[in-house]
Homo-oligomer: A and B are copies of this chain.
Amino acid sequence: LRLPAFVSKTRSEVSPMIEPARSAHRFRAVRSRSVALCRPLALEDYSCQPMPDASPPKWHLAHTTWFVEKTFLALFEASTPATDPTYDYLFNSYYESQGARVARHLRGTLSRPTVAEVLAYRQHVDERVQQVIERGLSSEALAALELTLQHEQQHQELLLTDTKYLLGTQPLRPAYDADDAELAAEHRPLEASVGDWLDVAEGLRELGFRGDGDGFAFDNERPAHRVWLRDFSIRKSLVTNQEYQAFLDDGGYQRPDLWHAEAWAVIEQEKRTKPLYWTDEGTHYTLRGVSPRPPHAPVTHISYHEAHAFCSWAGFRLPTEAEWEVAAPSLAWGQRWEWTASAYAPYPGFRPFAGVAAEYNGKFMVSQQVLRGASFATPAGHERLTYRNFFPPTACWQYSGIRPARAFA
């Protein structure tokens, strides 16, 4: 089995809410992809946690299954068998309403259940879901099912980024899959010229997801609302490896004036001198192994702190998420998450999902920065113009890059 394409052809399509007839097929397709993504791994990789933020692949496989139990089966299965209480403890990520759980940084201490047991757990849950689907789904059930799949797709991206971190920080630096041709896209150079900018005129714009019943969006993308934007310019291309190298060569990691105070404290304490995965020899680690850094490819695996410091150095700034969303239809986007200058906060009139999923987004709306766009690792069809990704400003193991903005010239 080959991986499905990571990037869809046309970014303009919004993934439509699936019709009942297609549910079973879509459920199987999405769920099976998680397992497929793990296929290049050694069994030893599945349970390993290289840092607190990166979960073991096995844990992703189990947690997403547990999520299906809690947010779909618990509500729509006629007679739900009790979940194994140990699984509740093991595979709850952060849902306080679902009780105690293994501390996040200890997920790598769980050798059991085994991978085979987790795969059996997946299969058992999937069969139960398909029985429910066969009996027919109310629109409510259909929406709940879709949430489990969107959730699964988010974890598929994390599966790849966590796996890249796991393998890329092994002293032996093994490839994820050295032969997979599609992985070459991971660091594909840009087509746009770094000199091209888009000018956007001042005015009142609309932000957020406008769909009603049609199409899925997370609670954090709603409601649509107006914002006033000053005129601004945004670059058509992302910052390249070559540009970022110039920042390094100019002493970027030795100049505190370019960094936020808390960023500089990290630089000093962790003795950071370059992006994650960069080596001193002009190479970097990719899913196909260590390879030369293409100078014209977008710099990737950049933290918000790094993105800000680079912009300070270059005389640019990061766009706000409103600027990004307004400009994006005129830009090529989708192979890197793009850090924005916006802290993650509720839109005016924000209402969280109901039930278990109330904890999905709202409780993280502090101390995080928004990323927009999509990445090489985002499942096809999961990306969306209004999508709000978010990570702490130190996070650098995602496929995150830099798109410069500046005042209207």
Contacts and interface: CB of A to CB of B under 8 A. Distances in A.
29 contacts: A42-B111, A43-B44, A44-B44, A44-B46, A44-B47, A44-B111, A44-B112, A45-B111, A47-B48, A48-B108, A48-B110, A48-B111, A50-B109, A86-B171, A96-B264, A97-B257, A102-B171, A109-B169, A225-B230, A227-B228, A230-B348, A230-B349, A232-B348, A260-B364, A260-B366, A261-B359, A342-B345, A343-B366, A367-B393
A317 B228 CA distance: 22
Contacts of A167: 111-112
B228 A204 contact: yes
A90 interface: yes
Nearest to A369: B366
Contacts of A259: 363
Contacts of A113: 172
A50 B109 CA distance: 5
Nearest to A109: B50
Interface string A79-102: 000000010011000101100001
Integer count of this chain's copies in the complex: 4
Interface string A217-230: 00000000111101
Interface string A136-172: 0000000000000000000000000000001101111
The interface residues of chain A, by DSSP majority, are classed as mixed
Contacts of A211: none
Given A226-B230, A263-B366, 19 more contacts: A42-B112, A44-B44, A44-B111, A47-B47, A48-B111, A49-B108, A49-B109, A51-B109, A86-B171, A108-B108, A110-B170, A113-B172, A225-B230, A257-B359, A259-B363, A262-B367, A308-B366, A349-B407, A366-B393
